Structures are given as C-alpha cells and as structure tokens.
Amino acid sequence: NSFVVRTNTCGELRSAHVGQKVTLYGWIQYQRQGLFLVLRDFQGLTQIIIPQDEAHSHVKKLLSNAPVESVVRVSGIVSPRPPGQENPKMPTGDIEVKAETAEILNFCKKLPFEIKDFIKKSEALRMQYRYLDLRSFQLQHNLRLRSWVVMRMREYLCNLHGFVDVETPTLFKRTPGGAKEFLVPSREAGKFYSLPQSPQQFKQLLMVGGLDRYFQVARCYRDEGSRPDRQPEFTQIDIEMSFVDQAGIQRLIEGLLQYSWPEERGSITTPFPSMTYEEALAEYGTDKPDTRFGMKIVDISDVLRLSDIQFVQNALSYPRGSIRAICIPQGVRYLKNKDLESLKESAKSQFNQEIMEIICRPDGSLKSLLTKFLGEKQQLELIQALNMQVDDVVLLAAGEHKQVCSALGSLRLLSASLLEAAGLALRDPTAFHFLWVVDFPLFLPKAENPTELESAHHPFTAPHPSDASLLCSDPTKVRSQHYDLVLNGNEVGGGSIRIHSAEQQRFVLEKVLKEDSEVLSHLLEALESGAPPHGGIALGLDRLISLIVDAPSIRDVIAFPKSFRGRDLMANAPDYVPAEELEPYHIQVSWPLEEKEAKKN
C-alpha cells in the first residue's frame, strides 16, 4: 500500500485487523437491499456493512444507490462477522468492514456484461470490451503470474548467469525464408521496412560484437492471416550465447524453467527427456508429441509382410512404405460408430489416407475386413504387437511412411479427445511433460515445388557436424543442429546452433536455397569479421503461460490480444487511412469494386 491513499487492499483483511480503522478503494461487485455490499480490487473481496442509523443516512443513500462496478472509497472499522455468518470460501470471510464514510469516485453506466467469471460471454464481446474483461479474477491472475514468471526469468538470466538484456530494433528489412513479415512503408519511394518475425539476425550480430550472452523479452510479428490460436504480434524469451553447444543451451533452459516455475503448479524434473525428429514422427506422428498418454504408433509391417492383402503389398512396395497402427483402449465401450467414421473421414480429408479398423471381441478374436486374409498365427502376432485387450479398437494405415505416421498421429489426438469426452481419463491436466526434439532435417521440399528446397526452420541453422559433407552432395539428408522444446504436445521453444562461417552461410543461401545473398550482405560481412561459434533459443512466452494456467487460448494470457483474424475488436484496428496521409509514403490504395461502392454509400 505504499504510495497510495488506501490503508489496505480488499483481499488482505483478517481477524487480526479487527478493531482497526481502514480505508479501502475498489469496485462494487455486489449490493444487497441497502444492507451490505462487496467491494473488489485486484487482490480480492471485502464485505462492507452499510450503516442503517440516522447519523449515517447520507452514507447509506450513497452506497445503496451506487450502481454495480462504480468506483468507491470506503472508510470504517474492521469487525468480526456474526457467528454462523462467516464465509470460508472468502479469504476475508471472517471479517466485515462497518462503513463510516464513503465517496463515489466514479459512477458506472450499465455494462454489456457482468464482471463475474461464471457469466458466459462470447470471446468477441470480451475482446471488444477488454478493459472490462481485465477486471475478472482469472485474467488478473493470468497476467500477474505472467509478470512473476518473466521477473524470475530475468533474475535467473541476468543476475545469476550474466546475460545482458538488449533491446533490438523493430523496424528492419525483409528476411528471406521463414514466416511472412509485415511491411512498413518509408518516405523513400518503393522502399519498405519489415517488422521482424524474431530478433534472429540482431542476436547473432550481438555475438559477433562480443556480448557473449544476450537476452530479451522480445516483441515479434508474423503476417500469417487467420490462424485460430496465433497472434500477429507475440512475445518471445529470446536468448543467444557464444561458445556453446546444444547440450549447454538445453541445460540453461531446463534451469531457467525450474527457477521460474510457479510453486502452485508443482515441480518439474530435469533433465528433460529427448527424442529425435524421426523417433517422434514414427511413434507419435508429429514433431511435437504429447507424451502424457500412450497409444503410440506401432510398426506392424513385418507382421503383415507375408500376407496376401493387396493394399498391404502395394504400400510395402513404396521406397518408404509401411503399415502402422494405433490401439485405442476400450474403444468399443467409449466410441460410437459415428466417432469411428469421423476419425476415418478426418484421415481421408486431411491426409488422403485410408484407415481400416480392427476390433477385439469379448472372446479375444478379431473383427475386421482383414481377418479373412490372416491366419491364426498372424492374428495372434498382431494382437501381441499392438498389445490388444478386449474391447480395444485398432486403426490401421498403409502407405508412405510420413503420410501414414502423420495421419495416425492426428487420429491419436482426436481419439484421446473423444475418449476423454466420453469419460475415460487419459491426459492429466495437472501434469507437465517437457520433451526435447532434436535432429530435425535441415531442409524440406517446398510444398508448391518439391524439386526446390527451403529451410525447415531458418537459413541460419548449422548442419549436424556428421552431415556437413552432405551439404554439397545430398542436402535433403542433412540433419540440423536445431532443437525444439515441447510441453504436453505444444511447441513452446525452438533454437539452434548457428552457422558462424560466412562461406558455409553463403553456400546455403545461394546454392541450396537459391536465395539472393545480397539481402543478407551485412550478416555475411559480420561472419567474416571474426564471428564466434554461437547458438540460442526462443521460448514462446504466450504459449508457455497459457499452458501453465491451463487457459483455453493464448488470448487469455495477453492483456490486449487480436482476434484470430488479426483484428483489434476494441479499437477497430486495422483501420482506413485518408489518401493524403498515404502520399508521403508514395502509396495509392487500389480498392476492390465492392469496397469502392460501399465507401461511396
């Protein structure tokens, strides 16, 4: 209560304060028949007794007539609540304040929704009136916990490990590869800044500059259009170190998270387990596995290799063909036929992958279109390979390895959600399973032109030392020194050891990615000027905090988020700009015909 005129907050009064005169400030949460009201501030609630005697009639009139959510000052004496009227659900439930004086600091008009966490409100309405939504206990808790975590991270990095907090520019130039960047016009005709999707180049240049250890709570920008749980602007805990290897970065991050982890969420164990990209894809069908539950993908190619099933033989004839399956525990009991059909339809529509089901009957026999092609020995081998139990349902896929694994990985998560909706507990919401995923491919074929390559992450990632010789001969087989940090099936961080050789960086840009290296001439020159070996990582702060507080969306841990279409619904941004304000930037807007007509009208 330093620097302010209140004596206490609304959440701190206890029995020990009985008899004290206090002054509280806050919002009226609730008022009942002119007898009492509940006053709320950032820390909690306090019950205020409205005086009924003639001497305080003006106080009674003032507080009885004040609308809910009005801002008031109340002074009075802390008293114990009458026996039997204590409220054990309120931290201040043993006391009440008998008002002696009061002042309405600001009356509140009728609001579009009540400020109560249990009141259902559409997300669009909450975002339109974000300044009201921020009064809710849940958002208050989320933002305060976020602030605490960031403060602990600063302590760990700067005070304990000698990192330097450096702010890097927001106006920069376009970077080849990676996500699409927002452009910012300049007064030089045809020239644009771009908003950086990360401080990647700057942090590498800081290492060339000899800072050794850099850290920043960095604002980043990506023009990714409509994405349900992405924000066009987001926050990273951005880190870079010189003279470090992959294991060093991983140990740093494990220590950082342990140090900044909120006590109320339990403890986390280090070191975190690690898995290669190929293992993650083969067992979970994704590069961000949720390891809180089983249902791993099982390779049953060898079990079915000698069968006469045509689609199996066709699949195994591919260069990387395989037969794989997942076993859904108690699927017969918990999943309806329509659920199984929706799973198969999902695999077909998203991955162009056919799925076959196998059911384990009560007598242990198998029910499937496949069984007539399989002998008793093969059926037994299948049951053992998948560890099938009575009432389990197996989903089987055959085809190219990556497509099969990706489809089954998606069905694994969808099945888990269906089982949980039907009452089978699979994923512990209080558990936090961290995982390092390593040995990613350095390059991937471009989706629009598979004969060309693009960086799997960004063009500054160093190749795996064992694969450096393949850069020239077969770049598709080169593994990277990239590492992702995954939490409960969500990517919460990613980083790499960087290329510190100008010659290798130029080769990757020009020969492998076919990019114009002139755009990065400043970086290449820096790498020629005595660049130390270096590496780093960025943690997605919004995603990390949303998982810690179990928020349904990252928008619930950001004070003023954008909608999933990238709009600010409160201020109605982006907005139109008059033509004369665009002139200094040499920009003219070419309106679509329907918008031209709308503006005329």
Q: Could you tell me if residue 245 is inside a domain?
A: yes
pLDDT tier at 598, thresholds 50, 70, 90: low
Q: Which residues contact 406 (CB under 8 A, 6 or more apart)?
A: 281, 285, 286, 351
Average pLDDT of span 148-159: 98
User: For residue 20, what is the domain's CATH number?
Assistant: 2.40.50.140
Residue 133 lies in a domain: no
Is the bond into 574 cis (omega within 30 degrees of 0)?
A: yes
Whether 564 is covered by a domain: the verdict is: no
The predicted pLDDT at position 562 comes to 93
Residues 259 and 298 in one domain: no
Please, how many CA atoms are within 13 Å of residue 340, restricted to the half-sphere of its CB?
A: 20
Cα gap 601→599, rounded to integer Å: 5
Nearest to 72 by CA among 63, 84, 85: 63
* pLDDT, tens digit, 9 for 90 and up, residues 378-417: 999 999 999 999 999 999 999 999 999 999 999 999 999 9
Residue 47 has pLDDT above 70, yes or no: yes
Query: What counts of helices (H) and strands (E) characterise the chain?
Result: 20, 22
Domain assignment of residue 595, yes or no: no
Give the pLDDT mean for 55-82.
Answer: 96
End-to-end alpha carbon distance in the chain: 55
- Provide the mean pLDDT of the chain: 94
- Dihedral in degrees, nearest 10, Cα atoms 161, 166, 167, 171: -120
Residues 271 and 145 in one domain: yes
Burial class of residue 1 (count of CB atoms within 10 Å of its CB; 0-12, 13-18, 19+): exposed
What does the pLDDT read at residue 180? 87
Per residue, what are the HEC states of 371-425? HHHCCHHHHHHHHHHHCCCCCCEEEEEEEEHHHHHHHHHHHHHHHHHHHHHCCCC
**Residues 551-588 pLDDT 10s:** 999 999 999 999 988 999 999 999 999 999 999 999 99
Q: Are residues 56 and 159 in the same domain?
A: no
Q: Which tokens belong to 147?
A: 């602030």
CATH code, 542: 3.30.930.10
CA distance 412 to 420: 12
Say whether pLDDT at 477 is over 80. Answer: yes
pTM, rounded to two decimals: 0.93
AA letter at 566: G
d(Cα 496, Cα 241) in Å, to the nearest integer? 11
Statement: residue 594 has pLDDT above 90: no
**Strand pairing report for 274-276 and 183-185:** unpaired
- The reply to whether 193 and 269 lie within a common domain is yes
The 10s digit of each residue's pLDDT in 272-306 is: 999 999 999 999 999 999 999 999 999 999 999 88
Find where tokens 């933002």 sit.
143
Q: How high is the pLDDT of residue 230?
A: 84
Residues spanned by the domain of 70: 15-106
Percentage of the chain surpassing pLDDT 70? 98
Q: Is the pLDDT of residue 123 over 70?
A: yes
